[in-house]
Amino acid sequence: MTETSLSVPGGFQVAGVHCGIKQDPRKRDLTLVVCDRPAVAAGVYTQNLIHAAPVALDRGRTPSERIRVVVANSGNANACTGPRGMTDAEQMARWAAQACGAEPDQALVLSTGIIGAYLPMEKIAQGIRAAADQLGSDDQALVNAAKGLMTTDSTHKLAGRRVRLDSRRIQITGMAKGAGMIGPNMATMLAILMTDAALDKGAAQESLSRCVERTFNCISVEGHTSTNDSVLLLASGTAGGGPLAGEELSLFQRALGEVCEELARAIPSDGEGASHLITIEVAGCRDHASAKQIARTVANSPLVKTAVAGNDPNWGRIVSAVGYAGVPLDPRHLRLYLNGVLLYEDGQPAVFDERQVSQSMQKNRETSIRLELAEGDARGRFWTSDLTAEYIRINSDYRT
């Protein structure tokens, strides 16, 4: 049995503080996640060939069975910073490890923010010390830690599930950030997932990779893959018993997928300037990859996104995006539903009340696009945001 539950899993303490990377003292910009014992850790990272120093460091340290701490900063990506960037990431790891009595190679590092600026290391050092003094496992500590990841996010993002197994109960809790520069194969987003389940590192890596592929890799705001994308999973094992396997592992993976999906949906929902969260579902494909490719193509169409922003049920933009997705299909057997209303079928528009559909878009923050093909039984899903003038304003003066 799985139920919604937000709490810090056993073995972990967290904190989020303001250390001065961001000018506004009300905004937290450094987060610590500490485990009281060596934790199993897995990671999935950006596919951008130009990636930040923390990504390179963490890739070399995961999967692992001995991670004790994650230190994350926001407001500065430590990306495109050359050898000094790697030196600074390693120093952050040493300071974080020292703060919790761990070895330097037992620490992972996350950074997000402006690209091409060096980290203010004195402020980072001060922030790590301050966060170490404020570590806790209460609800406020969890919120503070999630806020420490935020950049242009309008709100912090948390999700959790409690799973009841035959022999034990386990908790999975995740925090994430992301609102812009979001594209498939992850984008400017960070996520830290914690669990008290016992996992071996192979199962942890496989579980995380599988969940990321169907959640965080199925979101987009503008299709821009960033330099810093990272999703980490840490398992303390304090729930007891041996490493999960068989049906118990399957139940864990299902719950982990639910946490990842909730966090993933929250990112385009919070897309910079967004007024709609758009869910694109594609059914009737030869395989999952084809369904995902069609959904991704529709999601990344500026014309589709602006139509939704204007509450315009412009089915032609959606159908034409399907046609250039690069997936073989018979266009005579394509159906399109928007918010449950059939707009297009069998190569021609259906009869529908355009005003009624437009009003349904205007009255609801969520817009549903469903495409049905006749090529097979596979399906896929993608989430994106609409594209508004506010997005342009935010990103045109992001640095200046």
- Statement: residue 187 has pLDDT above 50: no
How far apart CA 73 and CA 257 sit, in angstroms, is: 26
CATH level 2 (architecture), domain 277-396: Roll (3.10)
User: How far are the Cα atoms of 2, 26, 61 from residue 203, in angstroms, in the given order?
Assistant: 20, 40, 16
Half-sphere exposure of 367 (CA within 13 A, CB side): 30
Tens digits of residue pLDDT in 275-331: 999 999 999 999 999 999 999 999 999 999 999 999 999 999 999 999 999 999 999
Three-state DSSP state, 319: helix
- Statement: residue 172 has pLDDT above 80: yes
Sequence-distant (≥ 6) Cβ neighbours of residue 397 within 8 angstroms: none
Tens digits of residue pLDDT in 20-76: 999 999 999 999 999 999 999 999 998 888 899 999 999 999 999 999 999 999 999
Query: Which pLDDT score is estimated for 228?
Result: 79
- Statement: residue 181 has pLDDT above 70: no
Enter the pTM of the model.
Answer: 0.91
Q: What is the mean pLDDT of the chain?
A: 93
Burial of 352 (0-12, 13-18, 19+ CB in 10 A): middle
Tens digits of residue pLDDT in 337-374: 999 999 999 999 999 999 999 999 999 999 999 999 99
Burial of 160 (0-12, 13-18, 19+ CB in 10 A): buried
How far apart CA 261 and CA 259 sit, in angstroms, is: 5
Which is the catalytic residue, given 46, 112, 188, 195?
Answer: 188
Q: Is 188 a catalytic residue?
A: yes
Local structure of residue 151 (DSSP, 8 states): S
Indicate the domain borders of the chain: 2-267, 277-396
Local structure of residue 51 (DSSP, 8 states): -
Query: Which pLDDT score is estimated for 189?
Result: 77
- Statement: residue 179 has pLDDT above 50: yes
The residue assigned the tokens 């952050």 is 92
> CB of 33 within 8 A of CB of 149?
no
Rounded average pLDDT over 192-207: 98
Helix runs in 233-372, H state only:
246-269, 288-299, 302-309, 315-323, 354-363
Query: Which pLDDT score is estimated for 183?
Result: 54
CATH of domain 2-267: 3.60.70.12
Please name every residue paired with 31 in a beta bridge, in sequence order, or none if there are none. 16, 72
User: How far are the Cα atoms of 18, 70, 80, 306 from residue 384, in angstroms, in the given order?
Assistant: 31, 29, 28, 12
